[in-house]
Chains A and B, each alone.
Chain A
Amino acid sequence: MATLLQQLTSGLVLGALIALIALGYTMVYGIIQLINFAHGEVFMVSVFGALATYKWFIPQSWQGTWQIALPCMLVGAVLVAVVLAVLMERFAYRPLRNAPRLAPLITALGVSVMLKEFVRNFFPGATAAVSVPRAFVDKAITFAVPGGTVVIQSTGILLVVVSIIGAVLLQTYITRSRMGRAMRATAQDPDTARLMGVDPNRTIVLTFVIGGALAGLAAVLYGIHINTVDTEAGFLNGIFAFTAAVLGGVGSIKGAVIGGFTIGVIKTMAGQYFPGGTEYDLVWIFVLLIVVLVFRPQGLFGEPERVRA
């Protein structure tokens, strides 16, 4: 029982991270039908952004005070992510907006390689993994459960809480606000939306900004929870997030969040209880993906509900 609950807890923490990144994939896909493979790298670069903020922009005497360090890192990471996402949209994807789907997809892969190599070459020490400080309450919270204890880091709790709040706020924004309506309209039919006075460029940039900001948020939480980052960090987390978006139905916000948590929990559960153990946990994630896509090609919350961003 204790092991089950412990694995569930770990799965939820991992899932919360995946969900935050998955939102960026799903929003961009919803509005311009582009799988932005460079999104995982935006996340990775923002972790380095947070680290750079901590190292070079926060006075040494304040580094130990997380109430100051964490907000600063957050601003740094989100700033890096948003600037990167906007530049990417402007210079890599906008010129290709009317091109066949393959061109922006290849471009996305190119941007991803470029960002990885850029960080590796120009961030001091990034040729290998670097450590990120735990700029939060460094405390594990232990709960007594039948048959043992469940331990969760305070950073893990923060990750889950922020992820859920972020998703709810985003959903409210998309469904309630004026800009949210413009985004949904552009997603449904860009040309008609334009006839109704919606500026598609502005709407698309905003989508990238929101996706980037969420990646920046995820980056800081990842940094303080995992405490290490290398240039490959965007790859596996990006793949997980992309899978979560597909699983939940690309374009659906609810789907991305549920997909993220599902993958997190499946990974830890499969490592514990499925044949093959931790060696095969990734296999089970993709088995699940295949099974879902066979019966619901649009993903869990794909077409019927259509909460596109």
Chain B
Amino acid sequence: MLTRIVRTKAEKGHHVRNHTVKAAVLVAGALLLAACSTNKTESGSGGNNQSCDQSKGTLVIGVIAPQSGGLSALGLGIKNSAMLAVDQANEKCAVPGYKLSVQTEDDQATAQVGAQAATRLSSNANVVGVVGTLNSSVAQSVQPILKAKNIVQVSPANTNPSLTRGTDYGTNPKREYANYFRVCATDDLQGPFAAKYLVGKAGKKNIAVITDGKTYGEGLAGEFKKEAVKEGAAIAAVAKVGEKDTDFSGVINSIRGSNPDAVYYGGEYPQAGPLSKQMKDAGLNVPVMGGDGIYDPKFIELGGKEGDLATSVGAPTDTLDTAKAFVSAYKAKAYKDDFSAYGAFSYDATNAIIGSLAKTLSGGTAWSDGKRADLITNVQSYSAQGATGEVKFDQYGDSTNKLLTVYKVSGGKWAADETGTFGG
């Protein structure tokens, strides 16, 4: 303390400045490192086919999905599959006069970052369409931004029904975003499909429901509860976990008293895996069932146990010829990451944009902002056989392909258990 009082004013001023500068440099360095890891832009790699006419330049397909954080396993699969589709299109000269490339934006699975990503993409006149997002909650903030520029968006993974049919999707469906499409089935099918299986086929009558409080988890669990009660099961308990939580003992203890014979989890695998394991640790050894958000090998790696269940959209990828072709093409590219739960959907979504773009620009017309409306019309009428089955959209932008599959953890792997549609 003494030295500080004795020190002259000039000395002090010098010290202050000096140290503040050092601190500022350190912080700047840290932020730079953070910035380096995001916003990677890649163009399709093997796309330089010399025999194609690419004289008019490059058109960009944006991808908005988590590339970092807990859900990056799904997001990286989405990115790689979109790149695969673009590479194949470039090899086949799918869009006359243009080379296609992919611009990936990391949304970190958060709505705010997703909105920034959408703004960045929409400011680029060469961005023709966007594949994404993974999370329904992120889609809510991305939709209006892309709509303002009339940019077509095809989501491989958004399952919340209100994104296409509005908040009263059950009673009074209304389409808000003409530019928004998705290639996967929605929660109002997936939740009830899971309930039918868990109550009807697996015979569970006292089910606890846990959610993570996000749009996806809440929507899925809500639809599940309705149908489970209709099927004759009781909802033993309802609880919520925090997105950053790792210790779930409190939640598990609170549902343990009601002796549930199964737990339905509305959320994603980073929490679901440890939750399943900690349930077993706490002596609550009953199956956990979830939606497509937990249908990932990571779920098992993080603690998902034998007998746990998940529903996912579409038929299992090893049953369709188009799916097998996708899987072998993906494997041939030797990407670092697995294609995960949404790879095939992302591939189909990207191909829907590419196919519609080719139709829009057929006859050698050049791309301009004026073509965006045509592109949306062409996506609306798009129809093809994709890796997930038929890719086609109804009047709300939903996929007409309503196939769902129940998977079960068996021998440390997800195995398909039952495929079907939910009718009713």
Chain A residues engaging chain B, CB cutoff 8 angstroms: 2-3, 6-7, 10-11, 13-14, 92, 95-96, 98-100, 103-104, 106-107, 109-111, 113-114, 117-118, 120-121, 127-131, 140, 142, 148-149, 151, 153, 189, 191, 226-230, 232-233, 235-237, 267-268, 271-272, 277-279, 281-282
Contacts and interface: CB of A to CB of B under 8 A. Distances in A.
B250 A114 contact: no
Given A129-B298, A191-B2, A272-B254, A228 B246 contact: yes
Given A120-B68, A129-B302, A282-B242, A272 B250 contact: yes
B245 A236 contact: yes
Contacts of B23: 96, 99, 103-104, 106-107, 110
Contacts of B15: 98-99
Nearest to A189: B1
A184 to B, nearest CB: 17
A118 B33 CA distance: 8
Contacts of A277: 239-240, 254
B33 A153 contact: no
A106 B26 CA distance: 9
**Which residue among B4, B71, B73, B302 has the maximum number of chain A CB atoms within 10 Å of its CB?**
B302
A6 B253 contact: yes
Interface in B229-259: 239-242, 244-247, 249-251, 253-254, 256-257
B71 A227 contact: no
Contacts of A6: 253, 256
28 contacts: A3-B254, A3-B256, A6-B253, A6-B256, A10-B247, A99-B16, A99-B18, A99-B20, A100-B19, A106-B24, A106-B27, A107-B27, A111-B30, A113-B30, A113-B33, A117-B37, A127-B68, A127-B69, A128-B298, A129-B70, A129-B270, A129-B302, A131-B273, A140-B282, A189-B1, A226-B246, A228-B274, A267-B250
Interface string B4-39: 100000000001101110111011011101101100
Given A191-B3, A278-B241, A2 B257 contact: yes
Contacts of B18: 99
Contacts of A110: 23, 26-27, 29-31
Contacts, number: 165
A196 to B, nearest CB: 14
Nearest to B337: A127
Interface residues of B, number: 57
Nearest to B255: A278
Contacts of B270: 128-129, 230
A111 B31 CA distance: 10
Given A129-B302, A277-B254, 16 more contacts: A3-B254, A7-B253, A14-B250, A98-B19, A99-B20, A106-B24, A110-B23, A110-B30, A117-B34, A128-B73, A128-B298, A153-B281, A230-B270, A236-B246, A271-B250, A271-B251
B210 to A, nearest CB: 9
B72 interface: yes
A72 to B, nearest CB: 22
Main secondary structure of the interface of B (DSSP, over half): helix
Contacts of A236: 242, 244-246
Nearest to A190: B1
A277 B254 CA distance: 9
B70 A10 contact: no
A268 to B, nearest CB: 4
B303 A131 contact: yes
A1 B34 CA distance: 48
Q: Closest 9 interchain pairs by CB? A: A99-B19, A110-B27, A10-B249, A114-B30, A271-B250, A268-B250, A151-B283, A279-B240, A113-B30
B277 interface: yes
B37 A107 contact: no
Interface of B: 1-4, 15-16, 18-20, 22-24, 26-27, 29-31, 33-34, 36-37, 67-73, 76, 213, 239-242, 244-247, 249-251, 253-254, 256-257, 270, 273-274, 277-278, 281-283, 298, 301-303
A10 B278 CA distance: 11
Contacts of A191: 1-3
A227 B1 CA distance: 47
Contacts of B29: 110, 114
Contacts of A13: 247, 249
A151 B22 CA distance: 51
Contacts of A232: 69-70, 244
A227 B73 CA distance: 19
Given A103-B20, A106-B23, A128-B298, A228 B303 contact: yes
A1 B71 CA distance: 39
A235 B2 CA distance: 37
A125 B235 CA distance: 37
Nearest to A237: B246
Nearest to B280: A140
Contact of A128 (B4, B72, B250, B282): B72
Contacts of B76: 127
B164 to A, nearest CB: 28
A109 B257 CA distance: 42
A110 B37 CA distance: 16
A140 B179 CA distance: 53
Contacts of A267: 250
Nearest to A191: B2
A236 B241 CA distance: 14
Nearest to B211: A279
A301 to B, nearest CB: 24
Contacts of A127: 67-69, 72, 76
Nearest to A273: B254
Contacts of A235: 244
